[in-house]
Amino acid sequence: MIFNKDTAEKTAELLLQINAIKLNPENPFTWASGWKSPIYCDNRLILSFPIIRNYVRDEFAKNIEKQFGKPDVIAGVATGAIGIGILVAESLGLPFVYVRPEPKKHGRQNQVEGFLQKGQNVVVVEDLISTGNSSLMAVEALRNEGANIKGMAAIFTYGFGVAQENFKNANIDLYTLSNYENLLNLAVEKQYITEDQQSALQEWNEIPSTWGQQ
149 bridge partner residues: 122
209 annotated ligand binder:
no
18 is in an annotated binding site: no
133 is in an annotated binding site: yes
130 appears as a binding residue in the annotation = yes
178 is in an annotated binding site: no
Question: Does the annotation list 127 as a binding residue?
Answer: yes
Partner residues linked to 80 by β-bridges:
none
Supply the DSSP symbol for 36: E
106 assigned ligand-binding residue: yes
Please, where are the H alpha helices in 93-172?
133-144, 161-170
The CA distance from 118 to 179, in Å, is 33
Task: Count other Cβ atoms within 10 Å, centred on residue 51.
Answer: 7
What is the DSSP track for 48-115? G-HHHHHHHHHHHHHHHHHHH---SEEEEETTTTHHHHHHHHHHHT--EEEE-SS--SSTT--SEES-
Task: State yes or no: 134 annotated in a binding site.
Answer: yes
129 is in an annotated binding site: yes
94 annotated ligand binder: no
Binding site members: 100, 104, 106, 126-134
Binding site members for 5-phospho-alpha-D-ribose 1-diphosphate: 100, 104, 106, 126-134
Binding site members for orotate: 130
